[in-house]
């Protein structure tokens, strides 16, 4: 069995020791090739090459951004048409080893957050031939498309992602504390009076006046340390997409929502100022002005119209 290991040497919690342990462990089980990612988009290119060369597995040591690139390289070009009905067919299986700050996708799959412990878990899955087929989300805009593994967002949360990426570019690590502090600071600056977005979709009542939208392919949406954050607690890899939209951004409106999504409860947040969807195959967010847009915690610029689509049975993961 042939496998390609992609290592992001700049990921938040990736170090030489972890990389060496993983290389030795995987190398003892499969015919292993190792590649380091060197620039944004490199993981997608390497994963696409692995698929074209007939590798059986692609393993990733990195954060959610590197995993997202890898998934897109395995399934489709990053820019292109949606995949066919069974996009996982004939493609390498995926091995995920957490090496970032939040590691949402790996933890949502049930893997340990420690990379060495996760290596042991995936080696056991490899020995037993154990794979899980999961659905993905897909965002489509301006002739482009990109898959996401756990979440996308438009509006305020994407603005926070953009701000944190700016801090990372200045050499600071993207720790959970930094995300929280950045979110609090940015809340004071974001536009809380002029909502930009409208939600539409087949069979969905039109919802206007949306400030912020979280689109989920699974739950949790993210983690603050060990605490899961669950704005869409019913979301699952086995269902369609979920959404939580906010029509008010005042402290009075936000406080009960924040309290609810931090309780690890499967009860949905409630309120007339909320827009909620569960298990939907497709919907579209249209903005009256360009708004910030993110996928799996990666900022992708400002967009005015994005369609979100569920892709069932898209990916096989060893867990």
User: pLDDT (tens digit, 9 = 90+) per residue, 212-232?
Assistant: 999 999 999 999 889 999 999
Q: Are 171 and 10 in contact (CB under 8 A)?
A: no
- Is there a shared CATH topology between the 2-134 domain and the 151-313 domain? no
- pLDDT of residue 168 exceeding 90: no
Extents of the domains making up the chain: 2-134, 151-313
**Mean pLDDT estimate for the chain:** 92
- Can you tell me the distance from the alpha carbon of 241 to that of 182, in angstroms, rounded to the nearest whole number? 27
**Residues 295-299: what's their mean pLDDT?**
95
pLDDT band at 78 (very low <50, low <70, confident <90, very high): very low
Q: Minimal CA–CA distance to 224: which of 117, 67, 106, 103?
A: 103
Question: What is the pLDDT at residue 85?
Answer: 62
pLDDT band at 81 (very low <50, low <70, confident <90, very high): low
Q: Which residue has the higher pLDDT, 138 or 263?
A: 138
Domain 151-313 bears CATH identifier 3.40.190.10: no
Question: How many other CB atoms sit within 10 Å of the CB of residue 247?
Answer: 18
**Residues 281-309: what's their mean pLDDT?**
97
DSSP 164: H
Question: What is the pLDDT at residue 190?
Answer: 87
Q: Minimal CA–CA distance to 146: which of 41, 43, 70, 76?
A: 76
Whole-angstrom Cα Rg for the chain: 19
Q: Tell me the longest C-alpha to C-alpha distance in the chain.
A: 58
- Can you tell me the distance from the alpha carbon of 312 to that of 84, in angstroms, rounded to the nearest whole number? 11
Task: Say if residue 78 is exposed, middle or buried (CB neighbours under 10 Å; 0-12, 13-18, 19+).
Answer: middle
Percent of the chain with pLDDT over 90: 75
Residue 43's H or E segment, with its range, is helix 42-52
- pLDDT of residue 77 exceeding 90: no
pTM, two decimal places: 0.93
Question: What is the pLDDT at residue 169?
Answer: 75
The CA–CA distances, whole Å, from 262 to 16, 161, 231 equal 34, 19, 8
Percent of the chain with pLDDT over 70: 97
Tokens 């993207």 belong to 174
C-alpha 106: how far from chain center = 10
Structure tokens at 182: 């950045």
Q: Minimal CA–CA distance to 220: which of 275, 280, 263, 284?
A: 263
Domain 2-134 bears CATH identifier 3.90.480.20: no
Structure tokens at 314: 């898209």
């Amino acid at each position: 069995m042939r496998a390609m290991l992609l290592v992001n040497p700049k990921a938040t919690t990736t170090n030489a020791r972890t990389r060496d342990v993983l290389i030795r462990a995987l190398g003892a089980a499969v015919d292993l090739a190792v590649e380091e990612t060197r620039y944004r988009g490199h993981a997608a290119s390497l994963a696409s090459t692995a698929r074209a060369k007939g590798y059986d597995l692609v393993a990733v040591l990195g954060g959610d951004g590197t995993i997202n690139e890898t998934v897109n390289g395995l399934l489709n070009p990053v820019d292109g048409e949606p995949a066919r009905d069974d996009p996982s067919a004939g493609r390498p299986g995926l091995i995920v080893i957490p090496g970032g700050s939040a590691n949402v996708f790996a933890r949502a799959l049930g893997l340990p957050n420690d990379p060495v412990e996760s290596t042991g878990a995936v080696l056991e899955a490899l020995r037993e031939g154990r794979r899980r087929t999961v659905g993905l989300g897909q965002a489509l805009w301006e002739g482009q498309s990109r898959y996401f593994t756990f979440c996308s967002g438009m509006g305020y949360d994407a603005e926070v992602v953009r701000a944190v990426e700016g801090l990372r570019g200045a050499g600071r690590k993207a720790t959970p504390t930094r995300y929280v502090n950045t979110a609090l600071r940015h809340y004071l600056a974001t536009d809380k009076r002029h909502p930009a977005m409208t939600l539409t979709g087949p069979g969905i009542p039109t919802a206007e006046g949306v400030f912020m939208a979280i689109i989920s392919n699974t739950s949790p949406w993210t983690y603050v340390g060990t605490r899961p954050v669950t704005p869409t607690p019913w979301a699952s890899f086995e269902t369609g997409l979920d959404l939580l939209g906010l029509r008010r951004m005042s402290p009075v409106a936000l406080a009960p929502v924040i309290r609810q999504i931090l309780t690890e409860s499967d009860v949905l947040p409630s309120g007339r100022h909320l827009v909620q969807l569960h298990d939907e195959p497709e919907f579209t967010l249209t903005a009256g002005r360009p708004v910030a847009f993110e996928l799996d915690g990666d900022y992708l610029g400002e967009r005015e119209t994005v369609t979100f689509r569920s892709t069932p049975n898209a990916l096989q993961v060893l867990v």
